[in-house]
Amino acid sequence: MPLRETQNFLARLYTENNLRQDFLSEPEKIGQENNLDKEEIAEILSIFPEELNAFAESLFYKRLREAEKFLPLTKNGLGVNFEKHFRIFADSYQPSTIKKHLEDAVEFCNYLQKDKNTSGMEKNTAKFEQAKLEFYGLEKRLVVKILDYDTNTNQKRKHLAVWLRIGRRNIIF
């Protein structure tokens, strides 16, 4: 297999928990499904599972810490459940743009808004922070969101959040 494909497989192995577990339990089968030859499979297996898992965990925690920086209100609202939700999200999503951490945070907000185990207030907070990230991080000129909770008081009532960029001036109301 060409080096680039092997590197891509290793990257997936480190970032996709299900693939890593499948590979460790059935290395020949998963290796062949991913176009690895016997030598490449053996070379990857020479990395002890503990090392493989430890490195994968370190990558996960790096993603988690970056998402927490972008989403302080969402982190605060979810509390200890932030990591649990992010782990589920991270197992099924890999960012693909050069702004990986920003993309992760925006897509995590999308995930939370669709998740049936997330409360209305938590969804509202994620929606608010997603809009803010799209405006500042993705440099959109106009972002409008109708929120179900007032972001200042957390009381349930319809609330309109608007970010508008006119020239170099940002107007938020």
pLDDT digits (tens, 9 = 90+) for 57-116: 999 999 999 999 999 999 999 999 999 999 999 999 999 999 999 999 999 999 999 999
Residues 42 and 60 in one domain: no
Residues 57 and 129 in one domain: yes
Whole-number pLDDT of residue 153: 83
Among 23, 123, 114, 41, smallest CA distance to 78 is for 123
Among 103, 100, 122, 90, smallest CA distance to 18 is for 90
Residues 159 and 102 in one domain: yes
Residues 59 and 41 in one domain: no
Residues 77 and 41 in one domain: no
Residues 73 and 146 in one domain: yes
| Mean pLDDT (whole number) for 125-145 | 95
Strand order of the β-sheet with 142-149 is 142-149, 156-166, 169-172
Residues 161 and 95 in one domain: yes
* Domain assignment of residue 7, given as a range: 3-47
Residue 1 confidence class, pLDDT cut points 50, 70, 90: low
Give CA–CA dist 150/49, Å, rounded: 48
Task: Tell me if the pTM is above 0.75.
Answer: yes
Phi and psi torsions of 156, nearest 5°: -75, 110
Query: Is residue 26's pLDDT more than 90?
Result: yes
Residues 88 and 125 in one domain: yes
How many distinct structural domains can be found in the chain?
2
Whole-number pLDDT of residue 168: 86
Residues 113 and 160 in one domain: yes
Residue 150 confidence class, pLDDT cut points 50, 70, 90: confident
Residues 41 and 59 in one domain: no
